[in-house]
Chains A and B, each alone.
Chain A
Amino acid sequence: MADEFEPNILGILCNWCTYAGADLAGTARTQYPPNVRVIRTMCTGRLDPAFVLKALSLGADGVLVSGCHIGDCHYLAGNFKARRRVALIRKLLEEYGYDRERLRMTFVSASEGALWAEVVQDMVNTIKKLGPNPLKQAGAAGQEGAIADEF
Chain B
Amino acid sequence: MDQEKRIGVFVCHCGTNIAGVVNIPEIVEYTKTLPNVAFADAYTYVCSTPGQEMIINAIKEQNLNGVVVAACSPRLHEPTFRRATERGGVNQFLFSMANIREQNTWVHMEMPEEATRKAKDLIRMEVARASKLEPLEAKVVPVEKAALVIGAGIAGIQASLDLAASGIKTYLVEKEPSIGGNMSRLDKTFPTLDCSQCILTPKMVDVERSENIELMTYSEVEDVSGYIGNFDVTIRQKSRYVYEDKCNGCGKCQEVCPVSRPNEFDLGLQPRKAAYVPFPQAVPLKFTIDMDSCIKCDLCKADDACGELEAIDFDKPDEIVNVKVGTIIVATGFDMYDVERKEEWGYKVYDNVVTGLEFERLIGASGPTGGKVIRPSDGKQPKSVGFVLCAGSRDQDEEDGAKPYCSRVCCMYSLKHAHQLIEKIPGCVPYLFYMDIRSFGKAYEEFYYRIQDEGGKFIRGRVAKITEDPITKNLIVTAEDTLLGEIMEMEMDMVVLASAVVPTESTQKIKKLLTLSNSPDGWLLEAHPKLNPMSTTTDGVFLAGMCQGPRDIPDVVAHAGAAAAAASIPIHRGSVTLEPIYAIVDEERCGGCATCIGMCPYGATELTHVDSKLIAHVNEAKCKGCGTCGSACPSGAIKMQHFTNEQIMSEIEAFAQVW
Q: Which residues of A contact B (CB under 8 A)?
A: 8, 10, 15-17, 19-20, 22-23, 25-27, 29-32, 34, 37-43, 45-51, 54-55, 58-60, 68, 71-78, 81, 85, 109-112, 117, 141-142, 149, 151
Residue in chain A with minimal CB distance to B106:
A26
Q: Which residues of B contact A (CB under 8 A)?
A: 73-76, 99, 101-104, 106-111, 114-115, 117-118, 121-122, 125, 512, 515, 517, 519-520, 525, 537-538, 581, 599, 601-602, 624-628, 630-632, 635-636, 640, 643, 645, 648-649, 651-653, 655-656, 658
Q: Identify A46's interface contact among B109, B114, B125, B627, CB under 8 A.
A: B627
Residue in chain B with minimal CB distance to A144:
B653
Given A39-B648, A41-B648, A58-B656, A78-B626 contact (CB < 8 Å): yes
Give me the 4 closest cross-chain CB pairs, A-B, nearest first: A26-B102, A46-B627, A45-B628, A58-B656
Residue numbers in A under 8 Å from B517 (CB-CB): 17, 68, 72, 109-111
B626 touches A45 (CB 8 A): yes
B652 touches A54 (CB 8 A): yes
Q: List 22 A-B contacts (CB under 8 A).
A: A23-B75, A25-B107, A26-B106, A31-B109, A32-B108, A34-B118, A38-B99, A39-B651, A39-B652, A42-B581, A42-B627, A48-B630, A58-B653, A58-B655, A59-B656, A68-B517, A75-B515, A75-B628, A81-B632, A85-B631, A111-B517, A111-B525
Residue numbers in A under 8 Å from B640 (CB-CB): 46
Given A46-B643, A142-B656, A77-B601 contact (CB < 8 Å): yes
Residue numbers in A under 8 Å from B625 (CB-CB): 42
Residue numbers in B under 8 Å from A19 (CB-CB): 73, 75
Q: Compute how far the CA of A42 lies from the CA of B363 in the bound complex, rounded to whole angstroms.
A: 54
Instruction: Give, as a whole number of angstroms, the nearest-CB distance from A124 to chain B.
Output: 12
Instruction: Give, as a whole number of angstroms, the nearest-CB distance from B381 to chain A.
Output: 48
Q: Compute how far the CA of A49 lies from the CA of B493 in the bound complex, rounded to whole angstroms.
A: 70
Residue in chain A with minimal CB distance to B629:
A45
Given A31-B108, A68-B517, A149-B649, A39-B601 contact (CB < 8 Å): no
A39 touches B125 (CB 8 A): yes
Q: Compute how far the CA of A117 lies from the CA of B106 in the bound complex, rounded to whole angstroms.
A: 12
Residue in chain A with minimal CB distance to B521:
A111
Residue in chain B with minimal CB distance to A117:
B107
Residue numbers in A under 8 Å from B658 (CB-CB): 8, 59
A26 touches B103 (CB 8 A): yes
Residue numbers in A under 8 Å from B631 (CB-CB): 45-49, 85
B643 touches A41 (CB 8 A): yes
Instruction: Give, as a whole number of angstroms, the nearest-CB distance from B134 to chain A.
Output: 17
B655 touches A75 (CB 8 A): no
Given A37-B118, A73-B515, A74-B537, A27-B75 contact (CB < 8 Å): no
* 8 further interface pairs, Cβ-Cβ under 8 Å (given A43-B627, A75-B624, A111-B525): A8-B655, A46-B626, A46-B631, A51-B652, A60-B656, A78-B628, A109-B517, A142-B656
Residue in chain A with minimal CB distance to B117:
A34
Residue numbers in A under 8 Å from B655 (CB-CB): 8, 10, 37, 39, 55, 58, 60
A77 touches B628 (CB 8 A): yes
Q: Compute how far the CA of A110 lies from the CA of B537 in the bound complex, rounded to whole angstroms.
A: 10
Instruction: Give, as a whole number of angstroms, the nearest-CB distance from B154 to chain A.
Output: 27
Instruction: Give, as a whole number of angstroms, the nearest-CB distance from B303 to chain A.
Output: 54
A32 touches B652 (CB 8 A): no
B645 touches A151 (CB 8 A): yes
Q: Identify A27's interface contact among B106, B117, B643, B652, CB under 8 A.
A: B106
Q: Identify B656's interface contact among A17, A47, A55, CB under 8 A.
A: A55
Q: Compute how far the CA of A72 lies from the CA of B635 in the bound complex, rounded to whole angstroms.
A: 30
Residue in chain A with minimal CB distance to B581:
A42
Residue numbers in B under 8 Å from A49 (CB-CB): 631
Q: Compute how far the CA of A60 lies from the CA of B657 in the bound complex, rounded to whole angstroms.
A: 9
Residue numbers in A under 8 Å from B538 (CB-CB): 74
Instruction: Give, as a whole number of angstroms, the nearest-CB distance from B74 to chain A.
Output: 7
Instruction: Give, as a whole number of angstroms, the nearest-CB distance from B156 to chain A.
Output: 24
Instruction: Give, as a whole number of angstroms, the nearest-CB distance from A4 to chain B.
Output: 13
Given A34-B111, A46-B628, A23-B643 contact (CB < 8 Å): no
Q: Compute how far the CA of A40 lies from the CA of B651 in the bound complex, rounded to whole angstroms.
A: 10
A111 touches B520 (CB 8 A): yes
Instruction: Give, as a whole number of angstroms, the nearest-CB distance from A112 to chain B.
Output: 8
Instruction: Give, as a whole number of angstroms, the nearest-CB distance from A127 to chain B.
Output: 15
B626 touches A37 (CB 8 A): no
Q: Identify A55's interface contact among B101, B102, B652, CB under 8 A.
A: B652
Residue in chain B with minimal CB distance to A150:
B636
Instruction: Give, as a whole number of angstroms, the nearest-CB distance from B275 to chain A.
Output: 40
Residue numbers in B under 8 Å from A73 (CB-CB): 515
Q: Identify A75's interface contact among B121, B525, B626, B636, CB under 8 A.
A: B626
Residue in chain A with minimal CB distance to B653:
A58
Q: Compute how far the CA of A16 lies from the CA of B74 in the bound complex, rounded to whole angstroms.
A: 12
Q: Compute how far the CA of A50 lies from the CA of B658 in the bound complex, rounded to whole angstroms.
A: 20
Given A42-B626, A45-B626, A110-B104 contact (CB < 8 Å): no
Q: Compute how far the CA of A54 lies from the CA of B150 in the bound complex, rounded to whole angstroms.
A: 47
Q: Compute how far the CA of A39 lies from the CA of B627 in the bound complex, rounded to whole angstroms.
A: 14
Q: Identify A34's interface contact among B115, B645, B651, CB under 8 A.
A: B115
Residue numbers in B under 8 Å from A15 (CB-CB): 75
B626 touches A43 (CB 8 A): yes
Q: Compute how far the CA of A8 lies from the CA of B515 in the bound complex, rounded to whole angstroms.
A: 34
Q: Compute how far the CA of A27 lies from the CA of B223 in the bound complex, rounded to whole angstroms.
A: 36
Q: Compute how far the CA of A68 lies from the CA of B624 in the bound complex, rounded to whole angstroms.
A: 17
Residue numbers in B under 8 Å from A34 (CB-CB): 104, 107-108, 111, 114-115, 117-118
Residue numbers in B under 8 Å from A31 (CB-CB): 107-110
Q: Compute how far the CA of A62 lies from the CA of B53 in the bound complex, rounded to whole angstroms.
A: 40
Q: Compute how far the CA of A149 lies from the CA of B630 in the bound complex, rounded to whole angstroms.
A: 16
Residue in chain B with minimal CB distance to A48:
B631
Residue in chain A with minimal CB distance to B103:
A22
